[in-house]
Amino acid sequence: MTCAAPAPGATAGAELAGRHIVLGLSGGIACYKAADLTRELVKAGATVQVVMTAAAEAFITPVTLQALSNRPVFTSQWDARPDNNMAHIGLSREADAVLIAPASADFMAKLVQGRADDLLSLLCLARPLERVPLLVAPAMNREMWSHPATQRNVAQLRADGATVLGPGAGDQACGEVGDGRMLEPAELRDALIAFFQPKLLAGRRVLITAGPTFEPIDPVRGITNHSSGKMGFAIARAAAEAGAEVTLVAGPVHLPTPAGVRRLNVQSAQQMFDAVLPLAPQHGLFVATAAVADWRPAALAGEKIKKTAEQRVPTLSLTENPDILAAVARLPAGQRPWCVGFAAESHDLLRHAREKRERKGVPLLVGNIGPATFGQDDNALLLVDAQGAVELPRAPKLTLARALVAEIARRLANAPTFPSPT
């Protein structure tokens, strides 16, 4: 057995370590969120240089952003602090990315037109396009967002290479409800982290199962397990960050859907089987992280089973559930995705993982000790293939998910064949 460390740069809580972000604020009530966004980016390890327009200063003070970023805030293209008096050049050359949050309708129009009448628009125009990406987080009233002029500008921004984050939908400061809210600070932080992740699965379609299944006994009871779904959801997030188109089939868990992931909710093993099998041929990679119940009651009681004087302990007859991973692995060539299985064991992990990999007929089996990981935020993984086993030592689940995605991508690149999605 050999050991491998998680992917470089994946330390929990420091996903933006070494990144220098120019955070630009244009005018809008969503400027209040920029304070929390600055904190989130700094906590994630980034250095943050805030640049504000005059309109932004009407909503939040530079003093607030300076205190949170620990750096002087720039507001004017005539700022004399840079040695050459060219703040728009120095600020843009130092950046790993420019993030405009909030990006008002007016400021996006400026970007599209190439106008540069303030420091923020000037540095956006002066940034080196090939190495300093531009991300914008729109924030405006729903009518302003849906206006054809705004939609034309958003389309042009994307065509010019900018990444548009959001907007979200919900209650607006004006009292209306709809599209146009700036994404929340944590969402923007995660979007920026995802932006910098290597796109190792770009162009791939990935199908993932996660969580437990619930097998009903009667209308109020059922058979399930302790799986929280956290590992599977972390893998779905990591795969989406890596550029894949991800479909997640989730058992009964209360976890937010990772950004950019299509989610299908199911309850029982049969429902998961019925959801997965038609989708599998449309995907090039299948990752079966779900802890699927092996058995279910042979008959579902129509009413709650009651204790009686004659029968205080009922007898349950069980029947076997369909084997989702094995069924996908047996699909015909051309329809069969590259399969990764998971095994949650209580003991003898390596032996059981090897046996399960051979039994299921999959190229890679990922094992873990279930009682040590169910419900936890960290985990340790054992990757088992025909050549042997590789250990990913205990780390946060998202860190492990990114390392696993990198390992899968490496194996896919070296695989003799890779089924094309249909």
Q: Is 304 marked within a binding site?
A: yes
Q: Is 323 marked within a binding site?
A: yes
For residue 265, what are its two tokens?
């909710």
Q: Is 356 marked within a binding site?
A: yes
Closest CA to 37 of 53, 27, 24: 24
124 labelled catalytic: no
Query: DSSP secondary structure string, 300-335?
Result: --SSPPPP-SS-SSPPPPEEEPP-HHHHHHTSPTTT
| 293 contacts 224 by C-beta, under 8 angstroms | yes
Q: Is 41 marked within a binding site?
A: no
N- to C-terminal Cα distance for the chain? 37
Q: CA dihedral defined by 14, 15, 19, 22, rounded to 10 degrees?
A: -100
Q: Is 342 marked within a binding site?
A: yes
Closest CA to 237 of 44, 405, 368: 405
For residue 374, what are its two tokens?
């169910």
| 387 contacts 381 by C-beta, under 8 angstroms | no
Closest CA to 255 of 274, 231, 238, 275: 231
Identified catalytic residue from 3, 124, 174, 339: 174
The Cα-based distances of 308 to 1, 98, 311, 312, 314 in angstroms read 55, 69, 5, 5, 9
Positive/negative CA dihedral, 357, 360, 366, 372: negative
Q: Is 381 marked within a binding site?
A: no
Q: Is 294 marked within a binding site?
A: yes
105-113 vs 119-126: helix crossing angle, rounded to 10: 40
Q: Is 324 marked within a binding site?
A: yes
Point out the residues that are catalytic: 174
Annotated binding site: 294, 304, 322-325, 342, 356, 360
Annotated binding site for CTP: 294, 304, 322-325, 342, 356, 360
